[in-house]
Structure 1
Amino acid sequence: MAVPKISDPRTTLRSGLPDRYLTPEDLVELLGLPSVETLYTWRKKRLGPPAFRVGRHLRYDPVAVQAWVAERMAQEAA
């Protein structure tokens, strides 16, 4: 009899994104960016997805990232 796997809520996927706040390194991997510096540059120029600070660390809400990507895709299609 197979034992059901209990998923870790930090790694459960919803619409292809983790159910936890994303680190800059997570976003680099998800978006296929060259480096974290690209995200920092986007943030400075207000071009990238919205981020917030937890102490001194940046975090990204997966829902906001998904909305940001959808907006970019809509702009490309127009």
Structure 2
Amino acid sequence: MNISVLVLNAPYDSQSSYSAYRYTKAALQNGHKLSRVFFYQNGIHSGTKLATPPQDEFDLYKAWQDLGTKHNLDLVICIAAAARRG
């Protein structure tokens, strides 16, 4: 199955961003092909390199980057949404 994932929420605003990460990881582990992960609206905050999550919490920023590198994923941040949010 060929899958695309849309992430709409910032990493620590709700459970949905973490759920999208776990879904993506599980799909890859089960042999599915991932076309792309698209970060839109507040989901664009998943791509910042400036965030420093608390040391005792799961680092979702690094997790997305590591997953993308490991599986050569197309992780795309909407430029218009990013520009609107600085």
Q: Which has the larger radius of gyration?
A: 1
Q: How high is the TM-score relative to the length of structure 1?
A: 0.26
Kindly indicate whether structure 1 or structure 2 has the higher relative contact order, using CA contacts under 8 Å at least 6 residues apart: 2
Q: How high is the TM-score relative to the length of structure 2?
A: 0.25
Greater share of residues in strand: 2
